[in-house]
Amino acid sequence: METAVGRIALFGLLLALVTTLPNKDDWDIYSFHINSTVTGRYATTVITSRVANRMNESKEIEFQVRIPKNAFISKFKMLIDGQEYDGVVKPKEQAQQQYTEAVSRGQSAGIVSSVGRTLEEFKTSVTVAAHKKVTFELTYEELLKRRHGKYELQIHARPMQPVKDFKVDVYINEEAGINFIEVKGGLSTKALANAITKTHAKKEAWVYFYPTEDQQKTCDSCSDQGMNGDLVIVYDVNRDTSLGDIKKSAGYFVHHFAPSNLPRIPKNVVFVIDQSGSMSGRKIAQTRMALIHILSDLAEDDFFGLISFDSQLFHWKRELVQATGANLESAKTFARNIRDRGATNINEAVLEGARMLNAHPREGSASILILLTDGDPTTGVTNLGQIQANVKGAIKGKFPLYCLGFGFDVNFEFLEKMSLQNDGVARRIYEDSDANLQLKGFYEEVATPLLTDVTMIYLGGTNLTQTNFSQYYNGSEIVVAGQITDNNIETFIPQVVAISSNRRLVFSDTNTTAVSTGTMTDHHIQRVWAYLTVKQLLEKELLVSGPEKKSVTEEALRLSLKYNFVTPHTSMVVTKPLGETTDVLHKPKEGETTSDLSALDLPTRQHSPPMLSSPGSSGRMFSMAFLRPDFGSGTLHHPQGPTGNSRSRSRSRSRKVKVQSAQVDLFDYEDYTDYGTALNLPRGRGPLPTIVTTQKNLGRVYQRSHRFLIKPDNQSLPLCFDVAGNTQLKLFHHPNRGLSVNGRLDATLHGGFKKIVIHSSTDVHIEVETTGITVREGQTKTRHTGQDLITAGSVTVIKRDKEIDIAAGDTRLLILIHNRGHKESLWPVLRQLPSDPSTTGILALKPTVYEEVQQTSSTKLKINNQEIDVSRSTADDFSIASTPTLDCWLMSAESALQGSLDDFTITKL
């Protein structure tokens, strides 16, 4: 079998792009899914691309993926004609040997190379027989980094052709609670914004991106070849405790430490700016612009210095001075006059910056040294190792050095090592129109120190990741993972000791520790520890030499193999059909290009330029939910949330909230009516109550009711209302496209919708039931129970395991199949709402603004200047497969709809 083995080395960050580059006449990407799960800031993303060879002969089909540089690929497999070909991670030397043999035979080789700022590109191919299919599946993992007070999960999509079954599903679960969640990026704007739906429920959040085939051609970054852009999921967690968020399970722990209720520490900062001849043109202009902006952000209690250098040094002042208004204006004038010229004397410039900071010790402050350069040292001391030794000796661990490398002419490894030796980091600044924003963005990450000399202490812990940090900055986060000695949770005691200004602080609160159990959580926490450990071992390799370096490399390799991570020391071996060519890919270092890999005899390939993110809207949500009835003493009461009205009665306040109704959630409960007499409440005067009963109340008949949620686009509570019986509802009507969707509610226990019917034009009718799909097209009637793609007129129907995906023009409807009480039911979710204002139906309710007024005796909402009595209730949201429980404001249907329910009911499906 060894001759049938092909080698693929892969790697990673925060984004996913699967790119298949077909000739449309040859093969078709009929399904493209990206599923990302984030638990405790650790993201696992699975990309699945299914491709069919439509030709009468065998064809070579390519699979191309761009993944984040910060991530590790952990799984890759192909499914061809019922046969699965799995990847195995092995030491790179073994992969290299087989790769060399393949090249000597004249076979093609795969390649991983850097693409833009955040991506690495992987590409392979396989031959598929005529009219056969292949499935590619790639999995990668990464720990999201907190910057500027938020985490960002980036998902890039460029299928290179419109795909009928395209979707992105993101699920986030944070035990600390999710403070906010937003969706940005180039694929979240304009026409595609309506393809995004979002749900946020305390500790969980869901984001869905379901663009129709038509939309994939018409967005700003779209063409006949489909989409080319990214989604960025932005969120942060609640931070209620100073010690942070600690999870422990199965002998491992992970600690996220990011206190936010601390005063800022005044800083001393020296900027060392390269003005050598290579900085000419746009680079020096952008540097001046960024520097002037940064100077404007200095606080008056900060002290600063400014040096520019080429072969000589140019001081603004020879000592640090306070950031007064007059000093800042003088410094800006100096910055405006920085001109490119001469050679590059990095050694003398950095040593002078360190001297200025050492000469200005200030109790209760934090010192920072920032170097910006675009090239190697060319004058003065030019030996890189000597420069690093000189700088380390000058700083002596007193403050961090941050190195910014401008462009690709710079020796980034030199800057990275020098930064790591001095408790800092290196960052590449890309030569682009936004380089000044990149510079400002980095400065903002370190602009507000909150703690210095941070020591993370774990009694009863072992095999710890980094535990000492020179500084902690506002908006960032410190993450430590390790093993618990003998898995003894009782003796495991976490503690953090740090300096805030001139005060010594101790953070210790064992009550904040969350003990998690369960196989998935056990596996998850252990992988976070392994990921962090390998990352830090790879950094440590730069700092050590000799036997110690060998030991560090061996440990990084051991863990990479154990946890199936593709790292700079490993490659992935993929078994392929007999006779296929060998593909081997090697993870590049930061800044390494295809030409840099020539020593590996890798062929040069062209790669498309990176896509930049741009802000966008979050989309709309309308979903289904289920209310669990309360059974009590036989009294009539208004349902409350888990804590009753105590939360809402804490204080009186009024605020405006925009409720977005583009996705409605249905939820069900039972009305118990004496001897069939219906409960008759006045319209618009408050919520429908839940009736509870005792065993003594006999002779009652059950009337099934369903609850709908109108979700907001912010963090406020959704509205909810009830619809009784087996009502037939107008779910959606798009008159300009001749599209209608109607549904019949099921009156049985745990029922949702029994049947949903889609009408397109005048002669296409699609009936969806849990048992199958019936299509009537003209006089033709067909019944479908499998998962083959169905096309009827302009409507496409895709049946998956527990969902039915329906696309028609600019509309995308998902029908979920739920099983409750051993009975299946349907739940419609509008994943894509057209921008056409003429659409109507309960799934197309327009946004509502309500004013929330909480008083001591009752809670009211003001909608369109009318006050409405409401009560707090809960509902299981069936627009989500896992049915999370949401709080909501319960009111009558007429109040929520601002009209009669009769406007949404129909007599015929």
> What confidence tens digit (pLDDT) does each residue in 226-263 have?
888 888 999 999 987 789 999 998 899 999 999 988 99
Per-residue pLDDT at 398: 94
User: What does the DSSP 8-state code read for residue 443?
Assistant: H
Q: In what order do the strands lie in the sheet with 111-115?
A: 17-19, 59-68, 119-128, 111-115
Cβ neighbours for 277, distance < 8 A, ≥ 6 positions apart = 310, 340, 341, 342, 343
User: How many other C-beta atoms lie within 10 A of the C-beta of residue 70?
Assistant: 19
Give the integer Cα–Cα distance in Å for 90 and 107: 21
pLDDT band with cut points at 50, 70 and 90 for residue 431: confident
C-beta separation of 672 from 749 below 8 A: no
Mean pLDDT for 611-639 is: 35
Mean pLDDT for 826-837 is: 85
Mean pLDDT for 391-417 is: 92
> What are the helix (H) ranges across 127-250?
215-218
Per-residue pLDDT at 316: 95
Q: Is the pLDDT reported for residue 807 higher than 80?
A: yes
Phi, psi of 370 (to 5 degrees): -120, 125
Answer with the residue of higher pLDDT: 849 or 758. Answer: 758
pLDDT band with cut points at 50, 70 and 90 for residue 709: confident
- The one-letter amino acid code at 538 reads L
Query: Which residues are 140's β-sheet partners?
Result: 45, 73
Answer with the residue of higher pLDDT: 580 or 668. Answer: 580
Mean pLDDT for 786-799 is: 86
> What confidence tens digit (pLDDT) does each residue in 733-744 have?
999 888 999 999
Helix (H) or strand (E) holding 315: strand 313-315
> What confidence tens digit (pLDDT) does each residue in 60-107 have?
888 887 788 889 999 988 888 888 888 888 898 887 776 666 556 554
Helix (H) or strand (E) holding 384: helix 384-395
Q: Is the pLDDT reported for residue 487 higher than 60?
A: yes
C-beta separation of 321 from 345 below 8 A: no
Tracing tokens 């902006």 back to the chain, one arrives at: 293
DSSP 3-state of 103:
helix
Mean pLDDT for 407-431 is: 90
Reading the block at residue 609, the tokens are 């330029």
Distances (CA, A) of 341 to 305, 311, 313, 732: 21, 9, 12, 67
Give the integer Cα–Cα distance in Å for 628 and 53: 49
Min mean pLDDT across 165-179, 226-240, 439-453, 622-636 is at: 622-636
Answer with the residue of higher pLDDT: 833 or 527. Answer: 527
pLDDT band with cut points at 50, 70 and 90 for residue 26: confident
> What confidence tens digit (pLDDT) does each residue in 264-313 have?
999 999 999 999 999 988 889 999 999 999 999 999 999 999 999 999 99
Mean pLDDT for 345-365 is: 95
Residue among 218, 212, 209, 217 at smallest CA distance from 185: 209
Per-residue pLDDT at 579: 64
Per-residue pLDDT at 680: 34
Tracing tokens 């064809």 back to the chain, one arrives at: 59
Per-residue pLDDT at 627: 36
Q: Is the pLDDT reported for residue 817 higher than 70?
A: yes
Per-residue pLDDT at 8: 34
Residue among 142, 136, 165, 174 at smallest CA distance from 155: 142
Min mean pLDDT across 138-142, 165-169, 734-738 is at: 734-738
Per-residue pLDDT at 756: 94
Mean pLDDT for 351-377 is: 94
Per-residue pLDDT at 16: 40
Query: Which residues are 406's β-sheet partners?
Result: 429
Cβ neighbours for 123, distance < 8 A, ≥ 6 positions apart = 62, 63, 64, 65, 110, 111, 585, 605
Give the integer Cα–Cα distance in Å for 487 and 253: 10
> What confidence tens digit (pLDDT) does each residue in 553-607 have?
999 999 999 999 989 898 887 766 666 655 555 566 665 654 444 434 333 333 3
C-beta separation of 435 from 283 below 8 A: yes
Query: Which residues are 419's β-sheet partners?
Result: none
Query: Which residues are 784's β-sheet partners?
Result: 773
Cβ neighbours for 389, distance < 8 A, ≥ 6 positions apart = none
Tracing tokens 């419109």 back to the chain, one arrives at: 162
Mean pLDDT for 331-339 is: 94
Torsion, Cα 307 313 317 319, to 10 degrees, reads: 90
Query: Which residues are 758's β-sheet partners?
Result: 741, 766
Answer with the residue of higher pLDDT: 141 or 128. Answer: 141
The percentage of the chain sitting over the pLDDT mark of 90, rounded to a whole number, equals 42
Per-residue pLDDT at 7: 35
Q: Is the pLDDT reported for residue 684 higher than 60?
A: no
Give the integer Cα–Cα distance in Å for 593 and 202: 43
Helix (H) or strand (E) holding 825: strand 823-832
Burial of 186 (0-12, 13-18, 19+ CB in 10 A): buried
Reading the block at residue 673, the tokens are 């009516």
Per-residue pLDDT at 502: 82
By DSSP bridging, strand 503-507 and strand 119-128 are unpaired
Cβ neighbours for 264, distance < 8 A, ≥ 6 positions apart = 299, 448, 449, 450, 474
Q: Is the pLDDT reported for residue 40 higher than 70?
A: yes
Query: Which residues are 825's β-sheet partners?
Result: 818
By DSSP bridging, strand 739-745 and strand 753-760 are antiparallel
Phi, psi of 264 (to 5 degrees): -70, 150
The percentage of the chain sitting over the pLDDT mark of 70, rounded to a whole number, equals 78
How many C-alpha atoms does 805 have within 13 Å on its Cβ side?
A: 21
Give the integer Cα–Cα distance in Å for 624 and 815: 10
Average pLDDT over the chain, rounded to an integer:
79
Answer with the residue of higher pLDDT: 223 or 530. Answer: 530
Answer with the residue of higher pLDDT: 13 or 590. Answer: 590
Per-residue pLDDT at 761: 79
pLDDT band with cut points at 50, 70 and 90 for residue 117: low
Residue among 376, 451, 439 at smallest CA distance from 402: 439
Phi, psi of 723 (to 5 degrees): -125, 125
Q: Is the pLDDT reported for residue 693 higher than 80?
A: no
- The one-letter amino acid code at 580 reads E
Phi, psi of 362 (to 5 degrees): -140, 115
Cβ neighbours for 666, distance < 8 A, ≥ 6 positions apart = 623, 624, 625, 626, 706, 707, 708, 709, 752, 753, 827, 878
DSSP 3-state of 232:
strand
DSSP 3-state of 349:
helix
C-beta separation of 473 from 454 below 8 A: no
How many C-alpha atoms does 857 have within 13 Å on its Cβ side?
A: 0
Give the integer Cα–Cα distance in Å for 594 and 585: 11
Answer with the residue of higher pLDDT: 519 or 772. Answer: 772
